[in-house]
Structure 1
Amino acid sequence: MPQTRLHLTAGKIEADRIFAALDGAFEDDGLPLAVLELDEDNDVHEVSLYADGDVDAIEARVKHVLAGLGLPKPVEREALPDIDWVSRSLEGLKPVRAGRFLVHGAHDRGKRHSGDIAVEIEAGLAFGTGHHGTTAGCLEMLEQVVRREHPRNALDLGTGSAVLAIALARLAHIPVLATDIDPVAVRVAATNVRLNHVKALVETVTAPGFHHPIFAGRAPFDLIVANILARPLMRLAPQMARHIRLGGSIVLSGILDRQRDAVISAYVGQSFRHVRTLHREGWVTIHLKR
């Protein structure tokens, strides 16, 4: 789907305020944001938000945020070419190692070593190539949890490219339910599952939250991994508690360092206890037990 860049200019102090406000307003939407210095001498900075879908509605929200800051600045649009930048960028990405896992594209099959748990990902339109700190952090944490707890039934909630579901299936040889609200992501996930020869273990389903009937037949889970965003994870805490078995583990990521304590508090309120936090590239991966 083509993207539109919504952008505006301001001085550094105002640009930082605008960026922070937009970051909070659009955190649940997962829309990329950027701030760039255009002219140091004249203090010109540019704030950009990359939108798809209903761009008019998104622009109206941006203007509402600006009005709330008392900074009613003009917002400009730039239509971006419809290019699958993730697939294109994979051509230049190096393999990523996280514990025993090696996440790689087709162009790096020859770099697999004996003893590697290799996960080949052609991410297409979906997020999650293993190169982001949250995905790599999850892989490292999952290896430790599986080694200690030997789960038998797992859920990858918000699976994206299915890298975590595939890794779990290949590491633990257990059934994994991989769900996402985005049908495009689920199609890409299914392709990656077949590519990694774990179709017998990983089931991919388009499911918004825990309301899909698939969960009634598969829960309770021994292990749930969810690499999403902090606010959705906090809202999901009660449902996570209902779908994890007593003594089971959850691994959460997509969480900035500054959001860690709030996420943990939401889960402690649902009778989870914090086991460990892994810090990586400004993001955290959190292990909790019920």
Structure 2
Amino acid sequence: MQVRYFAHGPKAEAELWYQALETAFEDEGAPLGLTEIDEARQIYEACAYLDVADGGADRAGEFAEVTGVPLGEVGCEMLPDKDWMAEVLAGLKPVRAGRFLVHGGHDRGKVDADDISIEIEAGMAFGTGHHGTTAGCLMMIEEELLRRTPRATLDLGTGSAVLAIGAAKFGAIDVLATDIDPVAVAVARENASANGVSDRVEVIEVTGFDSPTIAERGPFDLIIANVLAGPLKEMAPDFAAHLSESGRVILSGILVDQGAGVLDAFDAEGLRHVKTLTMGEWVTLLLER
């Protein structure tokens, strides 16, 4: 039996809930949703379709714990037997970011000759490219790779490898992609292979910058990190230590009101602000040494 668990709130909160749900239920590939339900008040719904065994324990508590939503505010809806993953896939529209088109296999026919295709399936979790931070990073990547070809590129916290795949395809460059989660690493490798860039995208499991491979491949001319504001600020010294003298950094996963704090942390390490791209409640930052 499948149950749809959901919560309603302002857009920024609902997006954070959605991100938390992606991380928490990635192993079981649970279909997720983020939908505007009240345009006038800007209220959004974040939901997760979770399997519940007949007679098994209700999972509303899991949803509440993951999102931080009070248990009494978590809604649930019993669902008939249905292929909900197929439903989610059918509802995911291609995302365009500059020349990039992020899409599922069901939308291959919508890729134009001039598009740079990045095919990511929703069932693989870890990000399908439908978040504003991903689009912002892809647009920044395109600008940077038009400006110059980096000698070495790092995608820190790669998730589904959307950004690493995009950089490898657009610039015909090699990218070192990392993630802390072994399942994410496996998924990223599968995605790189499915997109024909497994020879250019190397994916490794590592926490932060603590890897001999990172030390050997650096210093990097371009470091991309779509993570969260807190970890980015903590790792600012590591970014500076692994960046080349003319290197640049693309950062996202940052809410608009968190941007100044992230910039201050990196400025303290000698990285100056070059550009900010705002996508809804989120910003993508470009910095250089």
Name the TM-score, length of structure 1 as normaliser: 0.74
- 1:283 maps to a residue whose letter is W
For 1:76 and 1:118, the matched residues in 2 are separated by 37
Task: Give ranges in structure 1 of 5+ residues lacking alignment.
Answer: 10-14, 38-46, 67-72
- 1:269 maps to a residue whose letter is A
Identify the residue that residue 200 of structure 1 maps to in structure 2: 199
For 1:223 and 1:232, the matched residues in 2 are separated by 18
Identify the residue that residue 12 of structure 1 maps to in structure 2: none
SS class of match (1:118):
strand
Identify the residue that residue 119 of structure 1 maps to in structure 2: 118
Highest CA radius of gyration, 1 or 2?
Answer: 1
**In 2 relative to 1, CA 74–139 (structure 1 residues): closer, same or farther, beyond 3 Å?**
closer
**In 2 relative to 1, CA 255–94 (structure 1 residues): closer, same or farther, beyond 3 Å?**
same
Identify the residue that residue 213 of structure 1 maps to in structure 2: 212
Identify the residue that residue 243 of structure 1 maps to in structure 2: 242
Identify the residue that residue 41 of structure 2 maps to in structure 1: none
Identify the residue that residue 43 of structure 1 maps to in structure 2: none
The aligned runs of 1:39-58 (5 Å cut-off) are none
The aligned runs of 1:1-290 (5 Å cut-off) are 89-290=88-289
Contact 1:87–1:124 (CA<8 Å) still a contact in 2? no
For 1:3 and 1:246, the matched residues in 2 are separated by 53
The RMSD of aligned alpha carbons is 4.0
**In 2 relative to 1, CA 79–107 (structure 1 residues): closer, same or farther, beyond 3 Å?**
closer
**Runs of 4+ more than 6 Å apart:** 2-7, 29-32, 47-50, 60-63, 73-81, 83-87
For 1:84 and 1:288, the matched residues in 2 are separated by 44
- 2:247 maps to a residue whose letter is G
Q: CA deviation at 1:87?
A: 7.4
For 2:128 and 2:46, the matched residues in 1 are separated by 24
Task: Give ranges in structure 2 of 5+ residues lacking alignment.
Answer: 25-31, 38-44, 51-60
How many residue pairs were aligned?
A: 261
SS class of match (2:123):
coil
SS class of match (1:91):
helix
Q: CA deviation at 1:200?
A: 0.8
For 2:269 and 2:89, the matched residues in 1 are separated by 39
The CA deviation string for residues 99-124 of structure 1, in whole angstroms up to 9 with x for no partner, is 11111111111111111111111243
